[in-house]
A and B are shown apart, each in its own frame.
Chain A
Amino acid sequence: MARILINFAHPALEKSRMQRELLAMVKGMQGITFNDLYERYPDLDIDVNREQELLEKHDVILMQHPFYWYSAPAIVKQWTDLVLEHGWAYGHQGKALEGKYFTNIISTGASESAYHETGIHRFTIRQFLTPFIQTAVLCNMEYISPYVIYGVHRMDISDIKEAAQEYRRVLEGLRDDKFEPSALLQVPNMNQILQLPSPTQ
C-alpha cells in the first residue's frame, strides 16, 4: 500500500464549490494523510520540522490546490521555500525525498481547450507546472502526471459531485496499488489512469 500525503492549500475554501467537494471526499479516507496547510498555518508560519517528517513518512506527495494565476496559492510557495531545504531535499547530502512521487492536484475554472497554444491561456497546464516538475526532479523525486479538473466555472453541482467521485476512485487506486505510480509517467493527466487497462478490470 502506497502511503499518500495530500498537502492541501486553499485560502478561501468557503468560496470554492469544487475544492470543498474534493475535500469532503478525501478527508478521513483511510491510508491517506490529509495536511491542511492554511488551516494549520493561518499566519503562514510553517513548522518546517513537522512538514519534513510528514514527507519522510510518505511515498506519494500530492499538492492539492486551486490553480491561481497559473500557479498555486501563496502558502504553497512558502511551504516549498522553507520545507525543501538544501542538504535535506536537494544538494549532495539532500536525499530525504529520493524515490518518492510528487505531483499537483488542480482544479481550474477554464476548460481544457483554453490551456492550449491557440486558447486564451496560450500554454498547457503541464507547461505552467514547470517549476513544480523541476522542483521534484531537483529533489530526486519522480514527477507523475498531475490530476487536473478543468472547466469548474461551467459545472453545476451534480458535475462537481461526479468529478469528486472520480477523484476518490483515482486516490483509492493509487492507495491500493491498483496501478504503479510509474504508469502515471506515461499519461499526460492522472485522470486518464482510470481509462488505462488495469489489472483489476
Chain B
Amino acid sequence: MDQHSLLFQSMVYLAAAIVFVPLAKKMGLGAVLGYLIAGVIIGPSVAGLIGNGGEDIMHFAEFGVVMMLFLIGIELEPALLWRLRSSILGLGGLQVIVSAAAIAAISYWTGQPLKASLALGMILSLSSTAIVLQTLNEKGWMGTTAGQSAFSVLLFQDIAVIPMLAIFPLLAVSGIAVPGSHSTSLRDGLPGWGQTLVVLAAVCVIIIAGRYVVNPLMRVIARTRVRELFTATALLIVVAIAVLMNLVGLSSALGAFLGGVVLANSEYRHELESDIEPFKGLLLGLFFIAVGASIDFRLIMQQPWLIAGIVIALMIVKALILLGLGKIFRMSTDQNLLFALALSDIGEFAFVLLSFSTQSHILDEHTTAMLTAVVAISMALTPLIMLLYEKVLQPRYTRTAPGNERHADEINEKNPVIIAGFGRFGSMTGRFLRANGIACTILDLDSDRVDALHNLGIKVYYGDASRYDLLAAAGAKDAKMLIVATDNSDQTREIVNIAKRYFPHLQLLVRAQQIEDTFDLMDLGVLHIYRETVDTSLRMGADALTMLGIRAYHSHRAARTFLRQDEKSLKGLSALRDDKKEFLNIMKERVEEMEKLIASDKVKTWLDEGQGWDAASIRDEVRGEKEN
C-alpha cells in the first residue's frame, strides 16, 4: 500500500515526465506526445506503476484542463473576440454543427438510438484544445492563418460545451434515476427542465461572483502584501468554481472557463494568470500522462480493427468537413491542410461529456469504454499527424507547387532591390528606400501581413525567399541587391545560401538577431551584417551619456568608437569559433576582455581618437620652450 502513497505516485509521474518529455522533444515529437508516451509506459498496460489505469489520477489531472480553460478564459480579450467574430461564429459554428450532424447521422445509421446518436455527434465533434494549442504553440504556427482559424474553432467548441451540457439532461432517458454514488449532485431527482435551470443558475453565480466578489477580495489580499496569498487566492478561485460546478454536476472546466472570461477585465488579471500558469503546466502534463495511462489496451486488443476503424473513420470525416470549411473560408491549400489535420482529433472534453452521458444513461458503459479508447488514441495521434504534416506535407507545399496557390504570387516587377521579410525590421528599411525613390520587390511569408499590407496599398508578395524559383521570379537575376530581414535565423541562412549559390552578383545585406547568427553569417561570407538591436541600444547609450551632462558630440563619437571596437572583437571571436569546445572558454575570456575594454574606453576614446583637438601636448611643448 505504501507504494501507492501520494509521494510515490508523485515521484513516478514527475520522473516519467522528466525522462520522456525531453526524449520526445529531442526526437522532434513535441511535449504532448512525450507526456502521452510517459503515461502509456507507467500505465497498467506496460509497467503498471500506477493503479486503475490512471483513472484516479485522471480526476486530479482534469484540474489541469480546468486551469487551462481558466487561463484561456482570462486571456480572452473582448477585442480579440470581436476581431475573430466571423471566424469564431462562422468557422467554429459551422464546424461544430456540421461535424455533430454528420457523426450523429453515421452513428444513427449504424444502429445507435437517436438520443445516443445526438450525444455522440456532439461529443465527437469537439477537438482537443489542450493538445492542438500546445502543439501549434510549440511549432510556432499560432500566428499562421491555420493557427488563428484553429484557435477560433477551438474557442467556439469550448464555449459550445456549455449549451451541450445544458442539453444533455434533456437527452437523458427519462425516468431512470441517476446512480446513488453521485447523490452529491444537486440536480439529482429533478426533471429535465429543472436540471437545465440549475445549470443556468450555477453559471449566473459564477458571473456575479466574478464581477462583484473577486475584485474586492483581491484588493484586500493585495493590501496584506504577502505574495503567496495571491497564489492561494488564485487557486481558491479556480477550486471554488470547480466545487460549485461539481455540486450541480457540471464540468468544472466549463465553470473555470466562464470564471476566466468574467475576470478577463479584472485589474488583477495578470496576477491571476502568472499565479495559475505553473500549476496549469504541471497539471496539464499530468492530464496527458493520465490520458496515456487510461488507454485500455485490453479492450483494444479484443477489437483492434473495430477501434482502429472508428478512429480512422472519425478523423477522416472530421478532416473532410474541416477541409471543406477551409475551402469556403478561402484558406490556401497548405494552411487548409494544417487546419483540417490539427482539428481532426477528438478533445479532452469528450472524456468529461462521456462520463456525464454514462451517468445520465444516454450511452451504455461498453460504448463509453470503447469511445474513451478511441478518443485517447486520436489525441495521441494528433502530435504525430502534425509531425507528419511538418515533415512531409508542408515541405511539399513550400518548396514546389509552382504558381499553384497564393504561394507563388505572380511577380511582375523587376526592381534593383529585393527585400525578404517585411516585419518590424524589413518594413523600416523598405519604407526608407521607398521614401528615397528606390523601388523594392518585397517578399514575406506571413500571409496575414501580406494581406494587411495589400489593403494599405503596399505591394508585398507572399512567398518563401529561400526558394530558388521565387527569388528568380522576384527578378534576382537583374536585381542589384538582396536585403534579408527575416526574423527566423534558419530561413535567413537558407536565403543567403541560395542567393550566394545562384545569384552571386547580388549584394547581400543581412539582418542578424543573436550573436550566434552573426557568426553563422560571417562563416557564410556575408560582408554586410546588421545586428538588429546594436544601433538602437548604442543610440540609447549615447543619449544617456548626453543627458548625464557629457557633450553630445563626444557621446556620438564614443558610441561610434564603441561599435567599431565591438565589431573588431566580434571578428576575432568568429575566427576562434570552429573549435566548439574551446569556444565557450574563449567567449568567457572575451567577455572579460570586453569589460576591461569598456572600462578603459573612458580614457582611451579621446586620447586615441580625438587627439587632433587636444592641445595638451602642444601646450606642454610651448611651455617647455619657454622654460629653456
Chain A, residues 1-21, CB within 8 Å of chain B (1/0): the string is: 000000000011111100000
**Is B623 engaged at the interface, CB distance under 8 Å to the other chain?**
yes
**Is A154 engaged at the interface, CB distance under 8 Å to the other chain?**
yes
Residue of A14, A42, A154 touching B556 (CB-CB under 8 A): A42
**Is A169 engaged at the interface, CB distance under 8 Å to the other chain?**
no
Q: Which of A4-53 contact B (CB under 8 A)?
A: 11-16, 38-40, 42-43
Bound CA span A12–B554, Å: 7
Chain B, residues 594-627, CB within 8 Å of chain A (1/0): the string is: 0000000000001000101111101100110010
Kindly list chain A residues whose C-beta atoms are within 8 Å of the C-beta of B557. 42
Whether A154 pairs with B622 at a CB distance below 8 angstroms is yes
Q: Which of A142-156 contact B (CB under 8 A)?
A: 152-154
Whether B615 pairs with A14 at a CB distance below 8 angstroms is no
Shortest Cβ gap from B536 to chain A (Å): 15
Residue of A14, A110, A153 touching B554 (CB-CB under 8 A): A14
Whether A153 pairs with B553 at a CB distance below 8 angstroms is no
Whether B610 pairs with A12 at a CB distance below 8 angstroms is yes
**Is A94 engaged at the interface, CB distance under 8 Å to the other chain?**
no
Bound CA span A154–B556, Å: 31
**Is B135 engaged at the interface, CB distance under 8 Å to the other chain?**
no
Chain A: interface size category: 10 to 19
Chain B: interface size category: 20 to 34
Kindly list chain A residues whose C-beta atoms are within 8 Å of the C-beta of B618. 109, 153
**Is B441 engaged at the interface, CB distance under 8 Å to the other chain?**
no
Kindly list chain B residues whose C-beta atoms are within 8 Å of the C-beta of A110. 622
**Is B336 engaged at the interface, CB distance under 8 Å to the other chain?**
no
Kindly list chain B residues whose C-beta atoms are within 8 Å of the C-beta of A109. 615, 618-619, 622
**Is B551 engaged at the interface, CB distance under 8 Å to the other chain?**
yes
Bound CA span A109–B556, Å: 27
Bound CA span A110–B616, Å: 13
Q: A12-B606, A15-B610, A109-B622 are in contact. Are A153 and B615 (CB under 8 A)?
A: yes
Shortest Cβ gap from A23 to chain B (Å): 11
Q: Which of B526-553 contact A (CB under 8 A)?
A: 542, 546, 550-553
Whether B610 pairs with A40 at a CB distance below 8 angstroms is no
Kindly list chain B residues whose C-beta atoms are within 8 Å of the C-beta of A42. 542, 546, 552-553, 555-557
Bound CA span A14–B558, Å: 14
Kindly list chain A residues whose C-beta atoms are within 8 Å of the C-beta of B556. 42-43
Kindly list chain A residues whose C-beta atoms are within 8 Å of the C-beta of B553. 11-12, 38-39, 42
Whether A15 pairs with B613 at a CB distance below 8 angstroms is yes
**In the complex, residue of chain B having the shortest beta-carbon distance to the beta carbon of A37:** B553
Q: Which of B141-186 contact A (CB under 8 A)?
A: none
Interface core residue of B552, B613, B618 (most chain A CB under 10 Å): B613
Bound CA span A15–B605, Å: 13
Nearest 4 A/B pairs, CB to CB: A42-B556, A12-B613, A42-B552, A38-B553
List 13 interface pairs A-B (beta carbons < 8 Å), by A numbering.
Answer: A12-B613, A14-B551, A15-B615, A38-B552, A42-B546, A42-B555, A68-B612, A73-B613, A109-B615, A109-B618, A153-B623, A154-B623, A154-B626
B residues contacting A by CB (< 8 A) are 542, 546, 550-557, 606, 610, 612-616, 618-619, 622-623, 626
